[in-house]
Amino acid sequence: MKKMLALLITFALILALTTACTNEASEKETDENSNGTKTIKVVYKDEGPSNPVAKAYFSNLEKALKEDKQLDVKFELVEMPQGNYAEKLNLLLMSGEIPDLIYFQGGDQQIAEQDLLEDLTPYIEKSEHIKNIIQPHNEERMKNYPYLLWIKPLDSKTPVMRKDWFDKMNSSTELMENPSVDNYFKFFQELVESPPGGSGKPANAVTVAGDITELDFIFEMAFGINQTWIKNGGDYEYSKVSAQEKEKLAFYNKLYTAGLLDNQYLTKQWDTKEKAFYDGETGVIVGTNGKIIDIYNGKMKQVNGESAEVVVLPPAKGDFQGFAPTDITKESRGLAISSQSKNKETVFQVLDYLASAEGQMLDRLGFEGEHYESTDSGINLTEKYYNEWYARFWEPAEFEPEKPLLTPLLSEPAEQSRELAYEFYNTDNSFIIPVELISKWDAMENLYKEFSTDIITGKRPIDDFDKYVEEWLKAGGDEVTEYANKNIK
């Protein structure tokens, strides 16, 4: 009996001690989160803990925030599995694990509809820096959809190729003077039939990553598709069921059949597309204007020599000319703050800091001694900067560091791609699909992808276009078209 009593007393003491320690740890955690170090959980494509550059970036950001803003934060990076990022992210969020700061590249709308994303409008209005750098197209998108923020230049994509090859081609001058669809075909034909590299390459003239979206940036507007919804008589018609779309798909089939469009384009990913470009297996690829073109230019020269810098090609010219219309309904990608986060104000403080001159030194220029050298006379950007660095967060139109930049932020081809993107800027008239029509819209888009692929690859004749339109209308096209004609102003 005495032994039992002693055991009970011992157990009670252990329980009391454990409870006290737990309470103390809990109080410490609460105190740390409110007054000390705040842990911010971040999920960001390709910027997980297995990426050494990402780890260094966020470690440097922690130090900068503490020194410049007396903001004590610790970033916890979430590792995302390989595969479709939007799908993997949604699985993570649906599991109940919702980070404080979330990068979306699709799939955000269904999360926003569950009130899991914070409306960023009031944060921006009272911000110190972000409100001063946000650009007109960002403002329009935020008015329509206030959950994603992505302060970057216009995201139009531009086609590029090696300049040393371009200079050897007979059709180059004609293409630049008159970039008609026919002249583009002749240019592509020469690339394959009379390889300027002289080694039997490239195997094709142009490749794209998995679907025809990138190809559309070159050709779509030339075929008269200058907006998502185009006028047919007095009413709006979805461009992907229009006569103009039929003509465009027939041309893509012509490219594919002639071996000018990479016959393996459906299986290409961004990395294999770029590898084919650097290795000379394809002549032309498409990339987002500005920094991405900068990276293409740096890597191309790194692999093939200085003479292989890239040259930016113009958009095809026809009924219209441009690198596809710019969607202003919402950001197609961007950063969101979880509405469930206990650190919402702190997270936005971080985002606002990155818009400041000090924050931009890290975000825009990278690591001192690695991506840039600071001297008494100014800042020199290194080759490593041009070859690999990109801003993880913001790229305001104006950036003036404390010391002058002795080398430009963008290489000449990258700057030219940006200038062309703004020269051919054209707003779209697309809209956010209402919740009740989203499932039908997804089915309609899948129908289009399947049909357009079959037409391009020759599995179905172009004459089947009318059958596809009938299927599209039955799948929900009639309802969406009616909605469009009531709501497009």
pLDDT digits (tens, 9 = 90+) for 300-340: 999 999 999 999 999 999 999 999 999 889 999 999 999 99
Q: What is the mean pLDDT of residues 364-393?
A: 93
Most confidently modeled range among 13-22, 398-407, 408-417: 408-417
**Residue 35 banded pLDDT, cuts 50, 70, 90:** low
Cis peptide before 202 (omega within 30 of 0): yes
For the packed helices 438-456 and 478-487, what is the interaxial angle rounded to 10 degrees?
110
pLDDT digits (tens, 9 = 90+) for 44-73: 999 999 999 999 999 999 999 999 999 999
Read off the amino acid at residue 48. Answer: G
Q: What is the mean pLDDT of residues 347-372?
A: 96
Kindly list the structural domains of the chain, giving each domain's residue range(s) and its CATH number in brackets, ordered by start. 38-153+331-388 (3.40.190.10), 157-323 (3.40.190.10)
pLDDT digits (tens, 9 = 90+) for 198-251: 766 789 999 999 999 999 999 999 999 999 999 998 899 999 999 999 999 999
Radius of gyration, alpha carbons of the chain: 26
pLDDT digits (tens, 9 = 90+) for 175-190: 999 999 999 999 999 9
pLDDT digits (tens, 9 = 90+) for 253-296: 999 999 999 999 999 999 999 999 999 999 999 999 998 999 99
pLDDT digits (tens, 9 = 90+) for 456-465: 999 999 999 9
In the block, residue with structure tokens 């992505």: 150
